[in-house]
Amino acid sequence: MTKDAGGEKHSFEERLKSARGKQGMDPPPTAKGKEPDVLGSNPLGVGLRVGLELVSAFLVAVAIGYGLDKLFGTTPILMVLFIPLGGAAGVFNVYRLMAPKPKDESKTGDV
């Protein structure tokens, strides 16, 4: 009961780190200065993921447009409007996937 607040926090952090390590939840340590590769090193996997992102966004947009056309009884005008939106969403998802990640400035210790 006489522990200071910093001691309890430190103890909790140590216990949390230990528990996460036992469960395998912490990522494996990387070499210093080397960023972990989020996409993996397999080019086939990267290509499949990019293709899946593009196709899935396009199919969702077509399905939404088709469903709205059926719901409102309109000609396929809504599907025609949603097709470019789906294409743009797919391209944006691929951009987010492949864009360089910003460096995390909070780890430098500057306050």
- Could you tell me the sign of the dihedral formed by the alpha carbons of 73, 78, 83, 85, in that order? negative
Please give the average per-residue pLDDT across 80-89, as a whole number: 96
Residue 11: per-residue pLDDT: 85
Structure token digits, residue 51: 């293709």
**For residue 85, what pLDDT band results from cuts at 50, 70 and 90?**
very high
Structure token digits, residue 54: 């593009």
Top pLDDT among 86 and 35 is at 86
pLDDT above 70: residue 109? no
Secondary structure class of 51 (helix, strand, coil): helix
pTM, entire model: 0.57
* 95 closest CA partner among 40, 53, 45: 53
User: Rounded to whole angstroms, how far apart are CA atoms 17 and 64?
Assistant: 45
pLDDT above 90: residue 72? yes
User: Rounded to whole angstroms, how far apart are CA atoms 59 and 64?
Assistant: 9
**For residue 103, what pLDDT band results from cuts at 50, 70 and 90?**
confident
User: Rounded to whole angstroms, how far apart are CA atoms 41 and 44?
Assistant: 9
Secondary structure class of 6 (helix, strand, coil): helix
